[in-house]
Amino acid sequence: MMNSNQQWKKTALSVVLTASLLGTASISPAMAASEAAAAADASKTASGTITGTPQLQSYTLADKLQVEIKSLLNETTSEGTRIAAVVRVRSSDAKVAKIPDLELRVKTADGYEYPMQASVFNAHAIRPGTTEELNFFVKVDRRSPAELAELVWYAVDWYSYPKKETVRLAVPVKGQEWTGPLSGFANASSSVLSWERSFTLSPALESPLVYTPVSVNRDNTPQGPVTTVKMRVENPSATKEAVPDITLDGKSNGNGSTDKTVFPGKRVEASPLVLEPKEQRYIHFAIPTDKDTVLTSFNVLTPETFRQLDPKGQPSQVSYSVGRYRVALPVTSSTTEFNAAKPYEPGQPFAFDSLSDTIDPRLSVSMVEFHRHENDGEGYQTVIAKLLLKNNSDLPVLVPTFQTKLITAQGMTYSGNRQAGTIAEIMPQTSYAVSYAFNMPTENEDEQYVLKFTDAKTAAPASTAIGAYRVAMQETKLDLKNMSFYPFNVKLNDWTLNARYIVPSALSPNTPISYTYRMKLDMDITRHEHVVVDPNSSKMQLELVDKTGKILSTKSLPFSGVNRLISGVQFIQFDALRTEEHEYPLDINIYEVIATPTGEAKRLVGVLKQ
């Protein structure tokens, strides 16, 4: 009985280059070459050495018609082998040229030959000085991989007996095929790139855009671990250019909880994405992984689609991707990020990535406070970073929604909880103070950290870095003459604390005697000018504590609003005491309290003792 491969070989299947003349014309080869050269010169100036995809060899199919093999798939799975080809046809004719009605077959290295089906959407003619892409596909009932050797165009005379076949063109394709997610690259010297090496997808794609890997981050999201690759894409040309829908496949050495080594990723930004001439911007790719997976590289792939009509006349399509590059991820250690960060000079504005739009360029961000506080009895300490956002323009600016992380010298990372805020925008020539609280183990006594600013929206649910600086912990001094609640400073001049007795009334003679405490405060409060506060800004909290450390009562005192603290003498009443006895002596702990999404974060700024 004849096997399926022999049947394929002997079947007289006519492949006609079909469909009508496409209405969209491409640029001429001369113009394409000129623009590509200009783009290359401009991009070299911007990014240094640029790597391109392997040069496509041109072959003469007919008079004034050249063909190039743009993409070639040879993927074997448990369901069989998929072979697909995308052929680019170029015309140098001065008039509309007919694309010859030829049959395309693919030959394997072991001698088999398979006719390929042409897409019904393939062009049948080509306009003067333009290009067209022709798509071909065949699925073979073969589960053993075979290397492709040639693509052969045949002219078939169906009216002779036996039919006459003439080879019009044979193109060698050894080493050009993509065999699927586990495929390697035959030309490793040009297709396997180091980290931060710039590349283009030309000439495989007729696009001048230049891509540069910039950063990679790994986040634990509600959907699981996600590795985010950020790339800078530049348009060095003089015309608008659309960003192709490229994808990334993350690659590992099988070092995770499973033996899986390929992890498909996708671009975060939605299409279409168009760059203006000379424009640069970032694009992000999210690659979900297993829990213990460490990616070592990623493949850059371009998508292809073979479209056909099903037996009912409805359009159907087969989608696949072809690898263009493999990019090695940077080899890092737990201390790499800490060592790479620049030291921060207190009071100076942070410099952020110029291509990121997370923070308006009219807004400056600086650090005004960076303190540590141990939360007694709660099992952790809190580090508070207070940042000043200043609007230097003459227009209102929206409050940015960046996030922060603290990184230790050992590589431990702690996420910041931002204070709850009610201000949506910052008025011209004013500032707004926003605080971030970082909870960490009490045994951490580092004096320096890396403060990392991240954009949590662009590549959500993952985050991308926009800046990182090494910051030094400020020394905490309990000075009653200079207590900081930025943007307020408090100087305590005098204080007293007296117990007040509440005696049973005649209507309730059996009610026991109770106590309250009345505190007299004499303070001077100064404020930094042009710094806006809201109800969630820093507050003063007073804790009434007995000699055993038990908290008897607390009082929260705002610096804004109707019942705000003011300079001069004022009285504070401690009610709802957690005791029924008169206590003496008592301590009063003074805290700065900041509201965060996970609760209140507080910092001890002073202690009063009777």
Reduced to 3 states, what is the DSSP secondary structure of residue 436? strand
Query: Could you give the CA distance from residue 50 to residue 40 in angstroms, rounded to a whole number?
Result: 8
How many Cβ atoms are within 10 Å of 398's Cβ, its own excluded? 12
Per-residue pLDDT reduced to its tens digit, 114-150: 999 999 999 999 999 999 999 999 999 988 889 999 9
Three-class SS state of 351: coil
Would you list the DSSP string of 22-86?
PSPPPPPHHHHHHHHHHHHHHHHHHHSSEE-PPPPPPEEEETTEEEEEEEEEEEEETTEEEEEEE
Q: Report d(CA 602, CA 96) in Å as an integer.
A: 78
**Helix %, strand %, coil % of the chain (to 5):** 5, 50, 45
pLDDT for the residue numbered 5:
42
Q: CA 336: distance to chain centroid?
A: 20
Residues 6+ apart with CB under 8 A from 281: 232, 233, 275, 355
Cα separation, 356 vs 492, in Å, equals 44
Give the whole-angstrom CA distance, residue 550 versus residue 122. 83
DSSP secondary structure code for residue 231 in this structure: E
Q: Which domains does the chain have, with CATH numbers?
A: 4-328 (no CATH), 336-472 (2.60.40), 483-609 (2.60.40)
What lies within 8 Å, CB to CB, of 237 at 6+ separation is 35, 38, 39, 42, 208, 277
pLDDT of the residue at 347: 86
Q: Hey, what are 513's tokens?
A: 């005697």
Helix (H, G, I), strand (E, B) or coil at 154: strand
84 vs 135, 153, 443, 539, CA distance in Å?
Answer: 8, 15, 60, 67
Neighbours of 428 (CB within 10 A): 12
Q: pTM of the full predicted structure?
A: 0.78
CA 213 to chain CA centroid, nearest Å: 12
- Phi then psi for residue 377, to 5 deg, are 80, 0
The DSSP 8-state label assigned to residue 178 in this structure reads B
pLDDT at 601: 76
Helix (H) or strand (E) holding 602: strand 599-609
* Cα–Cα distance, 381 to 176 (Å, whole number): 58
The rounded average pLDDT for each run of 10 residues, N- to C-terminus, in the chain (610 residues) is 39 34 33 35 50 92 94 92 97 94 96 95 94 96 92 92 92 94 85 94 94 91 90 96 95 72 92 93 93 91 93 90 94 85 92 90 93 74 90 91 91 87 85 89 89 87 88 87 89 88 63 76 89 84 86 87 87 80 84 77 85
Distance between CA 266 and CA 303 in Å, rounded?
11
